[in-house]
């Protein structure tokens, strides 16, 4: 399982929001005003962090160091790499200015050091983590020096083999620092989509047990969005104010409009991933009633007949017995005439237990708690009668009830459901009805039996009106209550419960 780490109180790792870095790098072209504007625009675009580069040109390149091929295309080819870099340095005062601005804008400041002097300088300034370039991966002495600072290390892995990554991780861990994030990266500006090799993220995550991410140099969003699905915890993208600016990295960067769109799409991709648990979502639970099928009589079936497969078919809605129970019915004797096209329920057949209705006591609360705990999401959404389904909590409520009534429904030896009339103990003359049927016994008419029992109890006790609350999405229950004579007295315009009332003749 991948470790989690924190950068400035922001958790990085599996199941955490993706940490998005706007890599301003040297796209300020040595102008502090452009650098400040990059901070503003990165924050506006939704980045979590804006990152620069900290170096002294004479410590990075020799006088005769040639430019990389991509640099020759986007800068003066007659200019040396040293001369190019010297124009892009940020001074100490520039760093302090940008850190102060980031604090004000509430966006994290990070920077990539190129030498040990840069590491000391950034550490002195209080950066919460170090972002290391791909070239540092094969420099064990430098890795050790940075790791000794005890702060998280985000490391790009461009140009590296898996063995080289392993050597780097081992060097860092030998210092006692295990706060590592590895970024898959292709060192070319811009890089081709076919060179992204995003699956390497999974390889590194599995082998090194660390959070992984992606540092993008392509000219599209595809690699970044795909990396979300592959487990990226950090996504870094070069960021510029103007892609047409003269400089080494502008052409492989996203401008403010593009970066904002990228952030939005990353967040949408995160939402689309959901969880690893396979289960229906809330809207599917609602749709299941209309879309799933029930066991239905293919033709009229007479009382006393024995069920065979040819008598049955499946049709919508899914309010009756599930098709998975069809083989349980074969060979059973029918207790009542069943019309053609009628939905079948278990009480229609010989051998199914009668329903016993009884008043609940404290000794029933362990079984009641278990029934609620095992309930489906559908029931939890539509019916939440108690703050807690803990056995002791339920026992307290039922044990302290004076006029409120709580009943159980038992089929054979199993608790199949529960219903109640509440409100008396709070001083109301009109009780509120609520019922819950275990998913195992759902769609067998138990809810209707509970309602009829409660209404008869009210008539016997000269109670003239019964109230109930129904979630507006619970269409099945609303239909049952309306059929029983309940009328709406307060209809919700949102997601609150609708309130129904039935007046009784007493």
What is the Cα 53 distance to its own chain's centre? 34
How many residues does the structure list for the chain?
A: 506
pLDDT in tens, the chain (506 residues): 567 999 999 999 999 999 999 999 999 999 999 999 999 999 999 999 999 999 998 888 788 777 666 666 666 676 777 888 888 999 999 999 999 999 999 999 999 999 999 999 999 999 999 999 999 999 999 999 999 999 999 999 999 999 999 999 999 999 999 999 999 999 988 899 999 999 999 999 999 999 999 999 999 999 999 999 999 999 999 999 999 887 778 888 999 999 999 999 999 999 999 988 898 887 887 788 789 999 999 999 999 999 999 999 999 988 778 899 999 898 899 987 899 999 887 778 876 556 789 999 888 888 888 887 765 434 444 455 565 667 777 888 888 888 889 999 987 677 888 899 988 878 888 899 988 888 767 766 788 888 888 888 888 888 889 988 887 877 777 888 888 888 888 765 655 677 888 888 75
Looking at the fold, whether 252 and 373 belong to one and the same domain comes out as no
Q: Give the count of beta carbons closer than 10 Å to the beta carbon of residue 281.
A: 10
Instruction: Kindly state whether residues 74 and 91 are assigned to the same domain.
Output: yes
SS (H, E, C) 148-201: CCCCCEEEECCCCCHHHHHHHHHHHHHCCCCCEEEEEECCCCCCCHHHCCCCHH
CA–CA dist 490, 199 (Å, integer): 55
Half-sphere exposure at residue 383, Cβ-oriented, CA atoms within 13 angstroms: 23
Radius of gyration of the chain (CA): 34
Q: Is 64 exposed, middle or buried (0-12, 13-18, 19+ CB in 10 A)?
A: exposed
Nearest to 146 by CA among 115, 125, 167: 115
User: How many domains is the chain built from?
Assistant: 3
Rounded to an integer, what distance in angstroms lies between the CA atom of residue 133 and that of residue 249? 14
Nearest to 445 by CA among 371, 370, 367, 336: 336
10 Å Cβ neighbour count for 490?
12
Which residues have CB under 8 Å from 126's CB, separation 6+?
99
Question: Are 168 and 50 members of one domain?
Answer: yes
pLDDT in tens, 472-498: 877 777 888 888 888 888 765 655 677
3-state secondary structure of 259: helix
- 478 close to 470: Cβ distance less than 8 angstroms: yes
Residue 326 maps to which CATH number? 3.90.1210.10
The verdict on 332 and 369 lying in the same domain is no
Q: What is the CATH number of the domain that holds 94?
A: 3.20.20.70
User: Do 15 and 112 share a domain, yes or no?
Assistant: yes
Please check whether residues 374 and 288 belong to one and the same domain. Answer: no
Domain boundary among the residues 323, 348, 373 is at 348
What is the residue range of 383's domain? 355-503
Residues 263 and 320 in one domain: no
Same domain, 318 and 362: no
Same domain for 451 and 303? no
Residue % of the chain over a pLDDT of 70: 91
Q: Which of 218, 240, 273 is at the close of a domain? A: 273
Same-domain status, 196 and 323: no
User: For residue 124, how many C-alpha atoms fall within 13 Å in the half-sphere facing its CB?
Assistant: 11
* pLDDT for 72: 60
- Is 97 in the same domain as 240? yes
Residue given tokens 């899914």 in the structure block: 318
Q: Which residues pair with 468 in a beta bridge?
A: 433, 500
Residues 255 and 288 in one domain: no
Q: What is the CATH number of the domain that holds 401?
A: 3.40.630.30
Compute the distance between CA of residue 463 and CA of residue 106 in angstroms, rounded to an integer.
61
Instruction: Give the model's pLDDT for residue 83.
Output: 80
| Alpha-helix runs per DSSP H in 188-306 | 200-208, 222-229, 256-273, 282-291
Q: Which of 332, 348, 364 is the last residue of a domain?
A: 348
């Amino acid at each position: 399982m991948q470790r989690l780490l924190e950068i400035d109180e922001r958790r990085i790792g599996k199941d955490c929001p993706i940490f998005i870095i706007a890599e301003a790098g040297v796209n300020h072209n040595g102008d502090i005003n452009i650098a400040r504007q990059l901070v503003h625009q990165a924050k506006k675009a939704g980045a979590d962090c804006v990152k620069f580069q900290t170096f002294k040109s004479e410590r990075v390149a020799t006088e005769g160091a040639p430019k990389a091929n991509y640099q020759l295309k986007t800068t003066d080819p007659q200019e040396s790499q040293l001369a190019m870099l010297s124009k892009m340095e940020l001074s100490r005062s520039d760093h302090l200015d940008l850190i102060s601005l980031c604090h004000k804008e509430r966006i994290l400041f990070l920077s990539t050091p190129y030498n040990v002097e840069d590491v000391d300088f950034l550490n002195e300034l209080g950066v919460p983590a170090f972002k290391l370039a791909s070239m540092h991966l094969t420099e064990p002495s430098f890795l050790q020096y940075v790791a000794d600072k005890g702060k998280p290390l985000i490391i790009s892995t461009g140009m590296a083999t898996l063995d080289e990554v392993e050597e780097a991780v081992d060097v860092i861990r030998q210092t006692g620092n295990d706060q590592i994030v590895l970024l898959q990266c292709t060192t070319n500006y811009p890089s081709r989509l076919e060179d992204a090799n995003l699956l390497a993220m999974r390889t590194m995550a599995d082998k090194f047990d660390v959070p992984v991410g992606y540092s993008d140099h392509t000219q599209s969003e595809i690699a970044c969005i795909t990396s979300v699905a592959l487990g990226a915890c950090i996504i870094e993208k070069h960021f510029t104010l103007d892609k047409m600016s003269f400089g080494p990295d502008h052409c492989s960067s996203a401008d403010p409009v593009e970066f904002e769109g990228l952030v939005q799409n990353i967040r949408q991709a995160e939402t689309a991933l959901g969880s690893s648990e396979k289960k229906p979502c809330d809207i599917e639970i609602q749709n299941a009633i209309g879309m799933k099928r029930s066991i239905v009589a293919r033709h009229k079936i007479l009382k006393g007949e024995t069920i065979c497969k040819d008598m049955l078919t499946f049709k919508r809605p899914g309010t009756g017995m599930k098709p998975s129970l069809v083989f349980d019915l074969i060979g059973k004797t029918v207790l009542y005439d069943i019309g053609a096209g009628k939905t079948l329920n278990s009480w229609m057949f010989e051998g199914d237990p009668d329903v016993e209705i009884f008043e609940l006591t404290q000794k029933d609360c362990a079984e009641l708690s278990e029934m609620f705990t095992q309930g489906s999401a559908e029931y939890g959404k539509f019916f939440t009668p108690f703050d807690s389904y803990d056995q002791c909590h339920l026992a307290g409520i039922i044990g302290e009830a004076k006029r409120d009534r709580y009943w159980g429904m038992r089929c054979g030896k199993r608790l199949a459901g529960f219903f109640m009339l509440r409100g008396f103990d709070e001083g109301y003359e009109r009780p509120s009805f609520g019922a819950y049927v275990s998913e195992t016994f759902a769609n067998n008419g138990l809810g209707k039996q509970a309602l009829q029992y409660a209404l008869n109890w009210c008539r016997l006790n000269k109670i003239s009106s019964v109230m109930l609350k129904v979630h507006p999405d619970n269409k099945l229950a609303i239909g049952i209550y309306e059929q029983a004579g309940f009328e709406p007295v307060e209809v919700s315009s949102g997601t609150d419960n609708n309130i129904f009332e039935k007046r009784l003749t007493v």
